[in-house]
Chain A
Amino acid sequence: MAEFIQALRVAPLLQYALLTGLLASVACGVVGTYVVARRITYVAGGIAHCVLGGMGAAVYLRDVQGVTWLSPLHGATAAALLAAGIIGIVSLRFRQREDTIISAVWATGMAVGVIFIARTPGYQQDVMSYLFGNILMVSGEDLWLIAALDLVVVVVAAAFYRPFLALCFDEEFARTRGVRVEAFYLLLLVLTALTVVLLVTVVGIVLVIALLTLPVAAAGQFARRLWVMMLLATLLSMLLTSAGLAVSYAPDLPTGAVTIVLAAAAYGLAISAKGITRRMRRQRTRKAAVV
């Protein structure tokens, strides 16, 4: 740990990585709570895997076609938004089964990514960092884009907290109150897409769903209200991404994977703590009844 703190003082890449984790945690806590409450984790998974298509296309266009200003993060953002749009519009307008559309988007996105990467000389090795994340690859430029995405996500999610809560809790009732349910569902998918892009930089495509849901699920064990769940999930997520970076630094372990293992442990602890408090409360009630 001392080694990590020392390195953090002098290495800008490590500072960027820490900041990226903290920024992504805010979107993760806020939007992840909506995703878990609305039960659209599988949608987030589909969007996340489709992102490989965008990243692959971006590196191909940059390195083979000479579009020098493009970065993988630009491609990821475009692909995530496209995937969210396709899943939302096809399921709402064309009345198709959502799980089928998600599977199609999921697999097609990955296939497109693999094809583009295969046609880009020298980039095959980077597939691993896209899939499992490499937070130390975040540049100063990327950090600005991440901060901008974070700001958009959090402002929109907070401004429309009330209709989003109604949409997640009781969609039919929301409709009777004049909430434009379809529009807000699409907006939620867009927010999910942007959050996925943020998290891909931290833990990679494959592990996104875990970071989007595990801190929220752990927070959900103790929260009675949705905004409390968001707050707890954000704080926990910040702790986990920072701890992931710190723990993985000295032994040179993959940061994304370590973060997810820590998140799973935190979820397990939260469930156990909830179980213990429930049992203690029951025993107290039983004792009071006897007295």
Chain B
Amino acid sequence: MDHAVDISGLSFSYDGLSNVLHDVDLQVTSDETVAVVGPNGGGKTTLLKLLLGLLTPDRGSVRVLGRRPAQVRPQIGYVPQYVQFDPHFPVTAWDVVIMGRLGRTRGIGWYSRADRRATRDALDRVGLDSAGSRPFAALSGGQRQRVLIARALVTQPTLLLLDEPTANLDVGVEKEFEDLLAGIETQMAVMIVSHDIGFVASRISKVVCVNREVAVHPTQQLSPQILEAMYGQEVSLVHHHVHLDDEASAREGAADG
């Protein structure tokens, strides 16, 4: 079976002394959607950065689509948790999305017709086809998140990495995002980092628990006991989003590591 992600014996530390990730093994197939959960500082975002080739492992190997991450960057779509940007930066939603074509298009000069077509399609796919000319800073939090997803999709990725995609979204927008994700995840390997276990448990088949070490569980086997062992505190597992009215109570129940 083709592996979109194949990690073996991976250890990584920022300071060369204490490992943020220790002896990690993980395989994700090319048609799989997995959730990466764990407490803050557990190494979730570090794991994504290693998959993107932004960090280099101290030990072990990371292969993405059968090659080193840096060699396949254009095939990896990445949605960061948030973009720290200057609110006065003169950039439209279109500019942000087409930026995703870098690495897929020619090195110098302007974007090609194919790049512009892909940008139109990506904006259309996230429901923002008429918002391309609006300044990025003028968009709502949910719309900005959609733009960032379109920027990841415009690269026509084989692997999509989403870092805390619901962290900055309002309750209603979170539901919209879930629907959007449902349309995407059948077409590529998807890894979603989240500390909102209620959100990920409702739609993912496999959960990767990261807290310095990694343990992989099928979603149906994910129990409060497993989560308590990982988070080091009492955690309730609640499936939410069935009705928006239930959202508040569901959120209270979901772990907030």
Q: Which residues of A contact B95 (CB under 8 A)?
A: 165, 225-226
User: Beta-carbon contacts of A156-193 to B below 8 Å, as 1s and 0s?
Assistant: 00011111011011101111111100000000000000
Q: A165-B91, A166-B102, A170-B99 are in contact. Are A176 and B73 (CB under 8 A)?
A: yes
The range of chain B's interface size is: 20 to 34
Contacts of B91 in A (CB 8 A): 165, 169, 225-226
- Residues in B whose Cβ lies below 8 Å from that of A175: 54
Min C-beta distance of A285 to chain B, whole Å: 14
Contact: A177 with B103, CB < 8 Å?
A: yes
Considering the complex, which residues of chain A in the window 204-263 have a beta carbon less than 8 Å from any beta carbon of chain B?
220, 223-226, 228-229
Residue in chain A with minimal CB distance to B99: A166
Contact indicator A178/B135 (Cβ below 8 Å): no
Partner of B83, one of A170, A178, A223, A228: A170
Given the complex of chains A and B, what is the CA–CA distance between A229 and B88 in angstroms? 12
Q: Is B16 an interface residue (CB 8 A)?
A: no
Whether B14 sits at the interface, judged by CB under 8 Å, is no
Q: Does A37 contact B (CB under 8 A)?
A: yes
Contact check, B73 vs A178: say whether CB atoms are below 8 A apart.
Answer: yes
B80 contact set on A, CB distance < 8 A: 172-173
Give A239 to B210 CA distance when docked, in angstroms: 59
- Contact (Cβ within 8 A) A229 B83: no
Known: A173-B151, A176-B53. 8 other contacts (CB 8 A): A159-B108, A159-B109, A162-B102, A173-B78, A176-B73, A176-B78, A225-B90, A225-B95
The 0/1 profile, CB within 8 Å of A marked 1, for residues 48-91 of chain B is: 00001110000000000000001001101010100101101111
Q: Which B positions have Cβ atoms within 8 angstroms of A?
A: 52-54, 70, 73-74, 76, 78, 80, 83, 85-86, 88-92, 95-96, 99-100, 102-103, 108-111, 133, 135, 151, 155
Q: Are A165 and B99 in contact (CB under 8 A)?
A: yes
- Rank and list the top 4 A-B pairs by shortest CB-CB distance, nearest first: A177-B102, A177-B103, A178-B103, A159-B108
Given A220-B90, A225-B91, residue A170 in contact with residue B85 (CB < 8 A): yes
Q: Decide if A176 touches B90 in the complex (CB within 8 Å).
A: no
Measured in the bound complex, the distance between the Cα atoms of B92 and A225 in whole Å is: 6
Residues of B within 8 A of A224 (CB): 90, 92, 133, 135
Complex contacts, B86 vs chain A, CB 8 Å: 37, 39
- If A159-B108, A169-B85, A178-B74 touch, does A226 touch B99 (CB 8 Å cutoff)? no
A-B contact pairs, 29 of them (CB 8 A): A37-B86, A37-B90, A39-B86, A162-B102, A163-B102, A166-B102, A169-B99, A170-B83, A170-B85, A170-B99, A172-B54, A173-B78, A173-B80, A173-B83, A173-B151, A176-B53, A176-B54, A176-B76, A177-B74, A177-B99, A177-B100, A177-B103, A178-B73, A178-B74, A178-B103, A179-B103, A223-B90, A224-B92, A228-B90
